[in-house]
Amino acid sequence: MADLRPEDKLDPAGLTVPVPPGHRSNSRLERVLRSGRFAVTAELNPPDSANPEDVYEAARPLSEVADAINATDASGANCHMSSLGICSLLARVGYGSVFQISCRDRNRIAIQGDVLGAAVIGVSNILCLTGDGVGVGDQPGAKPVFDFDAISLLRTLRTMRDDGMFLSGRKITSPPKIFLGAAENPCIPPFETRADRLAKKVEAGAEFIQTNYIYDVDLFKRFMDRVRDMGLHERVFILAGVGPLASARAAKWMRTNVPGIHVPDAIIERLEGAEKQGLEGKKICIELIQKIREIAGVSGVHVMAYRREELVSEIISESGVLEGRHASDRRRRRAARATSG
């Protein structure tokens, strides 16, 4: 065998960098959350192309405002570029990603292998999802797999990481260093047991939660009350999902056609009454972020808008959630300069 070239010995994904004490991974998102800062994640919708530039174009505005970018896994059961493909492109330019895994399309053999594959390219956040049924997507004739559900997947990945073992008991010589997440949907039935299910996800291994779209703050508050009563906010970081509505019509369509979305009538009426509905949708979203930020136990926001990454970036900047952060960063940089010079 030929000698290794110097570039082969490099470690572009930083896999040999030790994980900070008390952390599971080298994820920036994990660091931000554990340091108590308000975290921001944003969703990238994969293109229907094999051109990397399409991914970078969407990722650029998000990279400026987000601690990690979620790469969706055929969300809504529609076929797009794979989430693993997106994550590898993001890793190449140093953006943090959240690798979304849905249980709908792959079985336990494929998923456990993908997780190792993701870890070696530098993915350190994984979001475990059950996934929508195939019927709502563009290829309803597909075979739904659902070998795992989100919770058994979480437990499996935690076992891979902490016990260095596949589900079969076979040893993993270098376990993946990953920060594990799951989704929760506080605004749909059964409301009374949503927090209990969250507890189950934490029990299974979830360390952060990104919720589905929240438009009903009161409902979310009630959910968070229950979460705090159960002490769950101390065991898991909760990032509330938000997103701008394009118009009243779009909101109504989403409400009836996309599984798991609840938009209260008050919001639709407000959109209908507005002159520029798109602008009003953005305003509503910013207000939602500001209201949600005040709720005790919420650790961050997750902002989503289908293929409108520029808009997401604007919303995050204008909402003010990053303000304190930049100042402290500047202060730290200044202090570093002062000590070194």
49 alpha carbon, distance to own chain's centre: 22
Long-range contacts of range 49-54, CB-CB < 8 Å, 24 or more positions apart? 49/81, 50/81, 52/89
With CB under 8 A as the contact rule, which of the stretches 13-21, 54-62, 131-139, 216-224 interacts with another protein?
131-139
Give me the least distance between CB of 144 and another protein, in Å please: 7
| C-alpha R_g of the chain | 20
Q: In angstroms, give the least distance from the CB of 211 to another protein.
A: 9
Distance CA 33, CA 136 (A): 34
Count of beta carbons in the 10 Å neighbourhood of residue 334: 10
In angstroms, what is the minimal distance from the CB of 253 to another protein?
Answer: 15
Contacts of 149 (CB under 8 A, 6+ apart): 103, 130
The C-alpha angle with vertex 194 and arms to 134 and 79, in degrees rounded to 5, equals 20
Span from 184-192, 229-237, 264-272, 326-334 in contact with another protein (CB under 8 A): 184-192
> Least distance from C-beta 184 to another protein, angstroms?
7
Instruction: Verify binding: residue 45, another protein, rule CB under 8 A.
Output: no
Residue type (1 letter), 243 = G
Query: Contact between 133 and another protein (CB under 8 A)?
Result: yes
Task: Give dist(CA 41, CA 147) in Å, integer.
Answer: 28
152 binds another protein (CB under 8 A): yes
**Exposed/middle/buried for 52, CB within 10 Å: 0-12, 13-18, 19+?**
middle
Q: Residue 56: exposed, middle, or buried by beta-carbon count in 10 A (0-12, 13-18, 19+)?
A: middle
Do 180 and 209 meet the contact criterion of CB atoms below 8 Å apart? no
Query: CB of 146: closest distance to another protein in angstroms?
Result: 5
Q: Whole-angstrom Cα distance, residue 162 to residue 177? A: 9
Contact between 259 and another protein per CB under 8 A: yes
Nearer to another protein, 258 or 274 (CB): 258
Does residue 142 bind another protein (CB under 8 A)? no
Among 29, 87, 157, 183, binds another protein (CB under 8 A): 183
> Among residue numbers 188 through 217, which ones bind another protein (CB under 8 A)?
188-190, 193, 196-197, 199-200, 203-204, 212
Toward another protein, which CB reaches closer, 94 or 260? 260
Does 135 help bind another protein (rule: CB under 8 A)?
yes
Q: State the minimum distance, in angstroms, from the CB of residue 329 to another protein.
A: 35
53 interacts with another protein by CB under 8 A: no
Cis peptide before 61 (omega within 30 of 0): no
What CA–CA distance (Å, rounded) separates 210 from 42? 10
Q: Which 95-124 residues touch another protein, going by CB under 8 A?
A: 103-104, 108
Which among 241, 324, 228 is positioned nearest to 288, based on CA atoms?
A: 241
CB of 155 vs another protein, minimal distance in Å: 5
Distance of closest approach, residue 56 Cβ to another protein, in angstroms: 30
Contact flag: residue 56 with another protein (CB under 8 A):
no
- Of 26 and 41, CB closest to another protein: 41
The binding site for another protein (CB under 8 A) comprises: 103-104, 108, 130-133, 135-136, 144, 146-152, 155-156, 167-170, 183-185, 188-190, 193, 196-197, 199-200, 203-204, 212, 259-260, 262
